[in-house]
A and B are shown apart, each in its own frame.
Chain A
Amino acid sequence: MSLKKFGVAALLFALSIAALTAQTTLVVGQATDPIILDPPMYSDTPTHNVNLLVYDRLYNLSSDGKVVPGLAVDLPKIEENGTKYTIKIKSGVKFHNGQPLTADDVIYSFQRGAFNDKSQMKSIFAMMYDVKKIDNYTFQFRTGFFDKTKAPANMTDSDLKSFDERAKYYRPAAFGSQLNQLTWLGASIVSKATLEKAQQDGTIKDYGITWAIGSGPFKFDSWKQGDSVTLVRNKDYHDSSIQTNIDKIIFKTIRDPSALKSAFLNKEVDLIMNVAPLDAREIEMNGGKILLTNGYFGYHYLAFNMKSPRVGQVNADGTPDLDGVYDLTSPSTTLRLAILYSINPSDIVNSPDIMDKRGKVTLQYVESLPFGHIDDPKGTRIEEGNLKTGYYNPTKAKELFASLPESFKKPGLLKCTALSGSVYVKEALVIKDQVKRTLGVDLINIEQVALSELATRRSKSDPEVWDLLVNWTQTDDSYYIFVAFDGFNTSLLHDTKFYTKDAQEWIDKGNSLPNGPERNVAYQNAQKEILKAVPRVPLVAIMGISASQQNISGVFLSPSGSFMLDNVVKK
């Protein structure tokens, strides 16, 4: 062989080795770092995106909102009026460190999610008790409530720190959302043996920060805080149907929305999420692909503080009216309705600076997922509106406003809170202007607050601090209805503190029924009751908007807007 031929052969060999060892890397841009890669401990969207790939769950939600088996072999066997679940899991599944995944790991994960001080996902397991291993790959649990009559005096539900303790003091009750909630990230399965060992040697403190062990299609590799998280492909993943050519995924933190867009346009990132509607237009013009959630996954609203004597429901002495029956002829209700009829949400939908037509006017609180969405609006408040201008009816608004006492017509009467620097401030400004133009009085003062203060205000609903609040929430199946409008629930989502007996009864009924038409009817009836009193003005139904480069395929968005990257391919 001549020297020249040898050189060519050597070059070809080197090139083929390089091609074989070349890694395909996917770069995903997101606005913040994940918080912690320990599933029950936190669940914002950037954390969600990473954890979805590192961990597996018993069930998953498909892009069209259906529950499909993940680690479970099939859907659960549900018995005894929906209170007893038996679930069989796949055998042969291994964690990233080689430990086998068994029913013990599932029970340990649930126990940790339910009772760990820092768990943010306690609600998934709130009704679970008597969790038992049947064999290595089968387990069983029951759902129910804490029964005071069984418990010693002064004992509360939060005093119980294990499923076995709960078994002594719980009584059976169906929880229709349980199966849906097992698809949530907080119900991901962690390795019992690994975490127990970490607990002993003290490395548990850094779990989810410097190390993480799941059983998902990608393994945790490294995390440069404030910069990026890197995952590498799990070549031993149990599900061989996964079709991806990606070896490494880098989740790059890019805080500034314009920087995120520039990085995408400069092709430094392959995928970005939470794209502003206006940027979506520019991305499309520059050859990027826009990805949308399958349907509307949330909505923006104007909330009324129901503890406020100006727009809420209070007794003569100023205390919140919690007797379960609202006086819908009171001046505060009249003012709520006057504001409802003054608002034309199409200005928000069409504004290039806000929605740029990538959303639609909505008349109800649950837009496209099955639970609670009212398909037949006959006889409900929805008949008063239309999908072009919402409930906008200036004549009616003026009539109602004219009937109010003078004390309800003072300029600056209502304090409106919105997250500082957010799109909700812009929406609040539109609302303030529309109310002023329709009613002839500048009723609303807007106050911008930081995230932590917004959380406090939503939770406390102090009528001295706010009357109105512009925000958004996800319409995530039944969870949305019972948390956002369950009058006895003090959660953050329940910022209005709305409570009527009729709505509560329907919510309770919906919560107790398994998935199915009867349950949908219960939640729809709950929403119809809620719409009578209008504790919130529904403004705009929103879609999750993400963007992908043209050479990326196989990416889907979950109903909650997270990336589903199991089958992503980069050409």
Chain B
Amino acid sequence: MTRYIFRRLLMIVPVLVGVTFIVFSLTYISPGDPARMILPQDATDADITQMRHLMGLDEPFLLQYVHFLFGFKSPSEDASFSYKGLLALDLGRSYVSNRPVFQTILERFPNTALLAILALVLSVILSIPAGIISATHQYSVSDMVVSILSLLGLSMPAFWLGMILIWIFSVKLRIFPSLANPANLKSLVLPVITLATMNTAVQARMTRSSMLEVIRQDYIRTARAKGLDEKKVIRKHALNNALIPVVTVIGLQVGQLLVGAVLTETVFSYPGIGTIMVDAIQRKDTPQILASVVFVAIIFALVNLFVDIVYAFIDPRIKAQYESMSKSRTNGALVKGK
């Protein structure tokens, strides 16, 4: 198992290198000139050329990529144009806000993580029981209700749902604030519902279909034939196996929740990391774009790694596969050493 985890960790490295190169290339070729964004509206062409030089933007593409990885020393007396590079986790300061780009992300990430975790907990609490009830009572009224609600949850765009919730619960009923704030739990109710809705729908449908597949298996029939209580059959024999694909989906959704809450953050004016990226792209704030996307890629890769590890623990087939591989290697070594 340790070998499996180590191998998965190693596989992240080429993924991240690839991501940095692709993101850097896309930012490089995308239209817009950062020097022009920094300088005043009445800057002359000479000012712009000078600023591009100070920022290292007049260097060839590959050299700029090397700077991005290993650092850049600006000829300007202003130290904020220089940085130590991605490998030192220093991509300098935002062209727009002048703040250290990674610091900005780290300040805001806990806010996004809080929102994502609450949304995830809510969606798991709602979706798994709903999926089980729906599957175990197939074609019943409760199954139909769950199916219709899931379909609605999948069909409603987050920004629309958020605006409707604000309109009803903030503007009309005045129960919840419309502006979300990590320090005020009450203000997080509406954004958490907004963010959790689609995930709840996906997880409920996934749980239902996975459960339906499992409860038709022979070993479930055998358990029932042995006279086991139906609740025990579902809880002990069916659920464990049915949840394996659901865990995979939840894992992928964690990544999406952590980085994809842009619309929810915008509608509720919540200071998370999604809005950093949108602003940075709008303003061609290259250091902030690169730092944000690399950060997101790392988070995604780590979450997927975690899911894979959990998957290996809860799926006996994977565990057995690695254990047998490990045993065969040990046996092989013994044979060779004989």
- Is B319 among interface residues, defined by CB-CB distance under 8 A? no
A117 touches B179 (CB 8 A): no
Measured between alpha carbons, how far is A247 from B47 in the docked complex, in Å?
42
Measured between alpha carbons, how far is A258 from B47 in the docked complex, in Å?
39
B97 touches A209 (CB 8 A): yes
Tell me the A157-205 residues at the B interface (CB within 8 Å).
158, 205
B282 touches A452 (CB 8 A): yes
Contacts of B45 in A (CB 8 A): 490
A268 touches B281 (CB 8 A): no
A interface SS class: loop
A255 touches B282 (CB 8 A): no
- Is B31 among interface residues, defined by CB-CB distance under 8 A? yes
A266 touches B31 (CB 8 A): no
- Is A330 among interface residues, defined by CB-CB distance under 8 A? no
Contact with B along A114-129 (1 / 0, CB 8 A): 0011111111000000
* B210-218, B242-250, B269-277 - interface stretch: B269-277
- Is A156 among interface residues, defined by CB-CB distance under 8 A? yes
B33 touches A455 (CB 8 A): yes
Measured between alpha carbons, how far is A35 from B107 in the docked complex, in Å?
17
B50 touches A459 (CB 8 A): no
A205 touches B80 (CB 8 A): yes
Whose C-beta in chain B lies nearest to the C-beta of A117?
B78
Contacts of B279 in A (CB 8 A): 32
- Is A549 among interface residues, defined by CB-CB distance under 8 A? no
- Is B237 among interface residues, defined by CB-CB distance under 8 A? no
B283 touches A456 (CB 8 A): no
- Is A450 among interface residues, defined by CB-CB distance under 8 A? yes
- Is B40 among interface residues, defined by CB-CB distance under 8 A? yes
- Is A292 among interface residues, defined by CB-CB distance under 8 A? no
Of A118, A449, A493, chain B has the most CB atoms within 10 Å of the CB of: A118
Measured between alpha carbons, how far is A227 from B38 in the docked complex, in Å?
23
Whose C-beta in chain A lies nearest to the C-beta of B41?
A492
Contacts of A492 in B (CB 8 A): 36, 41-43
* B83-91, B143-151, B170-178 - interface stretch: B170-178
A255 touches B275 (CB 8 A): yes
A256 touches B32 (CB 8 A): no
- Is A369 among interface residues, defined by CB-CB distance under 8 A? no
A225 touches B42 (CB 8 A): no
Whose C-beta in chain A lies nearest to the C-beta of B76?
A117
A255 touches B31 (CB 8 A): no
Distance in Å: Cβ of A560 to nearest Cβ of chain B: 14
- Is A319 among interface residues, defined by CB-CB distance under 8 A? no
Contacts of B268 in A (CB 8 A): 259
B42 touches A491 (CB 8 A): yes
- Is B108 among interface residues, defined by CB-CB distance under 8 A? yes
- Is A395 among interface residues, defined by CB-CB distance under 8 A? no
Distance in Å: Cβ of A497 to nearest Cβ of chain B: 12
Contact of A489 among B42, B97, B266, B272 (CB under 8 A): B42
Measured between alpha carbons, how far is A263 from B104 in the docked complex, in Å?
25
Contact with A along B251-294 (1 / 0, CB 8 A): 00000000000000011110110011001011110000000000
A262 touches B170 (CB 8 A): yes
B266 touches A459 (CB 8 A): no
Contacts of B39 in A (CB 8 A): 120
B178 touches A266 (CB 8 A): yes
Given A117-B77, A205-B79, A263-B178, 9 more pairs with CB closer than 8 A: A117-B81, A118-B98, A120-B40, A225-B99, A259-B163, A266-B178, A452-B34, A491-B42, A491-B44
* 17 A-B residue pairs with CB within 8 Å: A117-B78, A158-B46, A158-B47, A158-B50, A209-B99, A227-B271, A255-B275, A259-B179, A266-B174, A450-B284, A452-B32, A452-B282, A455-B33, A456-B31, A456-B36, A490-B45, A493-B42
